[in-house]
Amino acid sequence: MSKNNIALLVVAHGSRRDASNDEVRKLVELISIRPGILFKIVKPAFLELASPSITEGIEQCIKEGASEIVVFPYFLSAGRHVTEDVPKEVDLKRKEYPQIPIKIANYLGSNQGIADLVLELVT
Amino acid sequence: MSKNNIALLVVAHGSRRDASNDEVRKLVELISIRPGILFKIVKPAFLELASPSITEGIEQCIKEGASEIVVFPYFLSAGRHVTEDVPKEVDLKRKEYPQIPIKIANYLGSNQGIADLVLELVT
């Protein structure tokens, strides 16, 4: 196991509809096959209604040898899920694995590049 | 009123937290000031929990002289909101204003460019 094995955990809300969860899984697949990607491990996780949970996702990353984890909130706005629920789950795991740094990245909606994606889709 | 006055209505889910709705309003502002933008009218609307509603948003566009409207579902996955709820609201307005074409664009999550935004935020 490398000392610098950074994992990316893409955390989405989760849906009762499997098709919606599969969209997140497909995005994760797309990211994981990017040429030159920094992350050796890229996984999805869901806050609720789907598997794996955030806890399970972090455990999977660690089992696969992650020495560091970046949790990415795949949310459009900084609502309670982003500001409270995701950090709460992550904090529990930080206490359990103090030797593994777990960072929470800025949520998707914070990237102003979203305006470009919108314009691509409507024009 | 021009014959080619296309309006863009960015439809988000809507939240009890005003800060979340304000993020959508800011995005709309960002889009509206893009140099060379095709749309003379760019407005936000919310499926639920916030104002204006989709109905109100479409009405506002028409009052401001829109001859055509593009409704953009600002959603990450093609759940029930995207496949049923938004089209249902739009259909009612199509019947009311048959002379105004109202098109529904592909939802945000359908743009594979999202993978790039994710990578910008995590690296």
A61-87: per-residue pLDDT in tens? 999 999 999 999 999 999 899 999 999
Please say if the pLDDT value at position B48 is more than 80: yes
Please give the average per-residue pLDDT across B92-101, as a whole number. 98
Please give the average per-residue pLDDT across B93-106, as a whole number. 98
ipTM of the complex: 0.89
Q: Which of B65, B122, B54 is nearest to B91 (CA)?
A: B54
Q: CA A59, CA A64: separation in Å to the nearest integer?
A: 9
> Which residues have C-beta within 8 Å of that of residue B120, sequence separation ≥ 6?
A111, A113
Q: Is residue B35 within 8 angstroms of chain A, CB to CB?
A: no
Higher pLDDT, A67 or B35: A67
Provide the pairing of β-strand A68-73 with A102-104: parallel
Nearest to B78 among A19, A108, A115 (CB): A19
Q: Per-residue confidence at A1, pLDDT binned at 50, 70, 90?
A: very low
Please give the average per-residue pLDDT across B24-43, as a whole number. 94
pLDDT at B123: 86
Q: Are A89 and A54 in contact (CB under 8 A)?
A: yes
Please give the average per-residue pLDDT across B56-85, as a whole number. 96
Share of chain A above pLDDT 90, in %: 89
Q: Per-residue confidence at A36, pLDDT binned at 50, 70, 90?
A: confident
Please give the average per-residue pLDDT across B42-70, as a whole number. 97
pLDDT at B36: 87
pLDDT at B1: 46
Q: Is residue A117 within 8 angstroms of chain B, CB to CB?
A: yes
> Which residues have C-beta within 8 Å of that of residue B74, sequence separation ≥ 6?
A76, A118, B10, B11, B12, B13, B24, B27, B107, B108
Nearest to A118 among B19, B20, B72 (CB): B72
Q: Is residue B119 within 8 angstroms of chain A, CB to CB?
A: yes
Higher pLDDT, B18 or B4: B18
Q: Is residue B33 within 8 angstroms of chain A, CB to CB?
A: no
Q: Specify burial of residue B74 (Cβ count, 10 A radius: 0-12, 13-18, 19+).
A: buried
Which chain B residues are closer than 8 Å to A109 by Cβ? 23
The amino acid sitting at A123 is T
Write out the E strands in chain B.
6-12, 41-46, 68-73, 102-104
